[in-house]
């Protein structure tokens, strides 16, 4: 996975996290899957400043 793909993965996860927070709902299956992929790759994920 190249840096562009990693950035896209992190951006999508941030977007889904912010949407869920704004709408007051539980994380979607897609978000849970993205977070699992982020963890598997040892990437850092934060929405500080977004939520």
Domain boundaries, the chain: 3-40
Summarize the chain as % helix, strand, coil (round to 5): 65, 0, 35
Q: Considering the entire predicted model, what is its pTM? A: 0.82
Residue 51 has pLDDT above 70, yes or no: no
pLDDT in tens, 5-50: 999 999 999 999 999 999 999 999 999 999 999 999 999 888 886 6
**How far apart are alpha carbons 36 and 45 in whole angstroms?**
11
Q: Please answer whether residues 17 and 47 qualify as being in contact, where contact means their C-beta atoms are separated by less than 8 angstroms.
A: yes
CA distances from 6 to 12, 16, 26, 30 (A): 10, 16, 24, 16
Structure tokens at 22: 């704004």
């Amino acid at each position: 996975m190249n840096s562009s793909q990693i950035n896209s993965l992190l951006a999508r996860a941030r977007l889904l996290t912010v949407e869920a927070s704004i709408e007051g709902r539980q994380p979607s299956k897609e978000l849970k899957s993205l977070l699992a992929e982020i963890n598997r790759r040892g990437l850092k994920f934060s929405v500080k400043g977004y939520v």
